[in-house]
Amino acid sequence: TTNFTYAGTGTLALSATGGIGTSDALESTATTLTLNAVTNATSGNIQIDNTGAVTATSVTQTGGSTGNITLTATGSITVATITGADGTVTLTSSGGSILDDSVDTTYINGKAITLTASGRIGGDGTNDVGFAAGALTNILPAIDIDLGTGNLNLSQTGAGGDVHIREVNGTFTTS
């Protein structure tokens, strides 16, 4: 097990060719952990657990890796860019929500995507996605996804809240 501790917030940048936390998740106790330029190529999974919040600025499986990406946090997870292309992307927030960074051009990409939170999944907690003059409004807080050939699995384990998902490249199957 590889563990690290931060007193407050921290930024993690890692690059590997055989996985990051493949056999045992990389564990952190940061209040807020920002994953910036976390990249794995060739083989293996990316698995990171944090006992606080996580901001996934850039987490990527490259080079044709079919490895999975698993991010777990006790706080909220804010999503910018997560690219799992041929693998499954799994995000779990046991004590918070899964939130979007409110940027249209960033999204989760994976063959299959699983999102589990005790709070809301996407949305801003104040209102629902609406329609105005034939166009969607307030879509920025939706979790943006580019789903491959697998399923999109959504689960709320606590009080829950809104679920806002936006497919950026076609249609998707849910379960």
Task: Indicate whether 80 pLDDT > 80.
Answer: yes
pLDDT averaged over every residue in the chain: 85
- The pLDDT tens digits of the residues spanning 81-124 come to 999 988 999 999 999 999 999 888 999 999 999 999 999 999 77
The Cα-based distances of 116 to 10, 18, 69, 113 in angstroms read 24, 27, 14, 10
Asked if 159 contacts 119 with a C-beta cutoff of 8 angstroms, the reply is yes
CA dist 138 and 133 (Å) reads 13
CA dist 41 and 144 (Å) reads 24
Task: Give the helix ranges, DSSP H, for the chain.
Answer: none
- Quote the pLDDT of residue 5: 64
pLDDT (average), residues 59-83: 91
Task: Indicate whether 170 pLDDT > 90.
Answer: no
- The pLDDT tens digits of the residues spanning 132-156 come to 444 555 577 889 999 988 889 999 9
CA dist 64 and 168 (Å) reads 22
Task: Please tell me whether residue 143 adopts helix, strand or coil conformation.
Answer: strand
The pLDDT > 70 percentage for the chain reads 82
- Quote the pLDDT of residue 66: 79
Residue 104 is given by DSSP the state T
CA dist 88 and 140 (Å) reads 24
CA dist 112 and 84 (Å) reads 9
- Which of 44-48, 72-76, 81-85, 143-147: highest mean pLDDT? 72-76
- Quote the pLDDT of residue 133: 46
The pLDDT > 90 percentage for the chain reads 49
The strands making up 26-28's β-sheet, listed across from edge to edge, are: 3-4, 26-28, 46-50, 69-73, 88-93, 112-117, 151-156, 173-174
Asked if 171 contacts 135 with a C-beta cutoff of 8 angstroms, the reply is no
Instruction: Kindly tell me the burial class for residue 97, based on how many C-beta atoms sit within 10 Å of its own C-beta (0-12, 13-18, 19 or more).
Output: buried
Residue 163 is given by DSSP the state B
- The pLDDT tens digits of the residues spanning 14-30 come to 899 888 888 888 888 88
